Each structure stands twice: as C-alpha cells, then as structure tokens.
C-alpha cells in the first residue's frame, strides 16, 4: 500500500506521542519521538557538567556533539527505546530535571542540525509517524499529513503531573505548570525553528477530547491521505 509521512507537532504534553504511537501501530509505520532525542542530548550535557543554575554551557556542548551517538532500539514488536552512546536512557530522560534544561538545549542550532539530519534519514523510506515541534515546518515540509496539537496549559500540566507522580517523581502541580509555560515560551520564541503551525497543518485542540475520539479523528485523516482522497 502507498506509504505516507505523518508529522505531528504541538506544544509540550499535548499527547502527541500517545496518538503518534497509536497511529504507527495501526498503520505498521515507524514511530520516531524526536523530543526523546533532544532530551538525550540534554541528559548528556547534564552528565558531563555542561549545565548549571538553569544555564547550558553552549560552546562545550557544541564541541562535544561528535561524541553523542543516539539510536532507537526496538523493544518488543512495537516499541523502541532511545539509547545514548549505547546506554538505554528512555526512563532517565523523562525526569523533570531533564525537562528543565531541554528547551534551552533545543535552541542551539548546532544541536538541531545534527538531530534534524538524523531524523530526515529515519524518514527516507516514508511509512513514518514523527512527533516534535518542527517536523511539519523543517524536517518534513512535504509530509502528506501534518497535525498541530494544542490544549490549555492547565490541562497539559495536569496530565504531565499525573504521569510524573505515577513514575514516582516527587513534584508539585505548580512546578509542572511553570515548566510547561516556560517551555512553551522558549519553544515558540527561539530563533531557530520555533514551534509554529505549518500553513497546511490541521489543528486539533484536544482539551476536551478523549483519547479514542482523538485517535479516530486523526486515523481518518491518515486513511484519506493514504487513499489519495485529499
Ligand atoms: O516532546 P518533548 O516534551 O519530549 O520535547 C522536549 C523538548 O525538546 C521541547 O521542550 C522542545 C524540544 N523539541 C524540539 O525543539 N524539537 C523537536 N522536534 C522535538 C522537541
């Protein structure tokens, strides 16, 4: 069957990865979580003393980029976990401490260039669902289907807070809300590849949508594109 490229962008904690994974499973496509790549680079910077007091040591990190190797390795039939220089860091990259540094790291053009190049290669054969902030605008401007997900900051913080608690993190709702708002600000105002809706993207506000409705809405859009109906 004709394969397409699906780009899912949007604000943090809008549930992009949940719907991207569901779609990839259903269509038997490859799912790529590009946020995990920015998070893994951030973890590397943290492990190598390149961050302190909310600031990233940009020149040190840029110099170390050739030493960072990222790879998604399959776990079971339909999940892949990110490995940083051969080590599985899928869990470590989800902590709030990483979330606090990831947006500044993602403003660094050299970091973006390295990751975007790898992302383009991963999508070469089509049949890919990729989620992030710049997939429809920079990584795959010709993607057949582009989705832009939004929801209120409070809704997103609430979802993230529950997830973090479930993982045993000790955080307050207020801390999570502030992090969500801070990341929105940095992601939308950075100079290189700011988060914005591509002109031809379809916006989905899922503040009041359940997961099932959201999945079926987007799946229908994908089916139409695959069948060449739109
Ligand atoms: O999707 P996420 O919350 O795991 O992403 C973490 C951060 O990485 C987010 O604050 C912005 C950055 N990011 C980006 O700049 N470009 C992408 N394609 C994906 C993520």
The number of distinct structural domains making up the chain is 1
| Structural domain contains residue 184 | yes
Q: Which atom of ligand 1 is nearest to the CA of 186?
A: 10
Q: What is the CATH number of the domain that holds 212?
A: 3.40.50.300
Between CA 32 and CA 37 the distance in angstroms is 9
The contacts of residue 202 (CB under 8 Å, 6+ apart) are: 145, 146, 147, 148, 221
Q: Given this model, what pLDDT does residue 101 score?
A: 95
pTM of the predicted structure, to 2 decimals: 0.93
| Structural domain contains residue 226 | no
Element (H, E) at 87: strand 87-88
Pocket residues for ligand 1 (CB within 6 Å)? 12, 34-35, 38-39, 102-103, 106, 132-134, 183, 187
Q: Given this model, what pLDDT does residue 75 score?
A: 87
Torsions phi, psi for 196 (to 5 deg): -155, 155
Say whether pLDDT at 118 is over 90.
yes
| Structural domain contains residue 128 | yes
Q: Given this model, what pLDDT does residue 42 score?
A: 98
| Structural domain contains residue 173 | yes
| Structural domain contains residue 223 | no
Q: Which atom of ligand 1 is nearest to the CA of 99?
A: 6
Say whether pLDDT at 142 is over 80.
yes
| Structural domain contains residue 222 | no
| Structural domain contains residue 68 | yes
| Structural domain contains residue 50 | yes
pLDDT (tens digit per residue) in 71-91 = 999 888 778 999 999 999 999
Q: Tell me 93's DSSP state.
A: G
């Amino acid at each position: 069957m004709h394969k397409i490229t699906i780009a899912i962008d949007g604000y943090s904690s809008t549930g992009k990865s949940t719907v991207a994974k569901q779609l990839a499973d259903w269509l038997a496509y490859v799912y790529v979580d590009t946020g995990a790549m920015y998070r893994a680079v951030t973890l590397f910077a943290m492990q190598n003393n390149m961050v302190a007091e909310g600031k990233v040591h940009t020149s040190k990190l840029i110099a170390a980029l050739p030493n960072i190797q990222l790879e998604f390795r399959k776990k079971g039939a339909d999940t892949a976990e990110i490995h940083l220089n051969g080590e599985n860091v899928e869990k470590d990259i989800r902590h709030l401490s990483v979330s606090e540094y990831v947006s500044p790291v993602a403003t660094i053009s050299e970091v973006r260039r390295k990751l975007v190049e790898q992302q383009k290669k991963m999508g070469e054969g089509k049949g890919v669902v990729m989620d992030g902030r710049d997939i429809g605008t920079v990584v795959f401007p010709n993607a057949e289907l582009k989705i832009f997900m939004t929801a209120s900051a409070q809704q997103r913080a609430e979802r993230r807070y529950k997830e973090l608690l479930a993982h045993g993190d000790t955080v307050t709702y207020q801390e999570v809300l502030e992090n969500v708002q801070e990341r929105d600000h940095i992601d939308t105002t950075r100079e290189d590849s700011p988060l914005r809706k591509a002109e031809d993207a379809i916006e989905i506000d899922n503040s009041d949508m359940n997961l099932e409705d959201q999945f079926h809405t987007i799946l229908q859009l994908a089916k139409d594109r695959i069948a060449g109906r739109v």
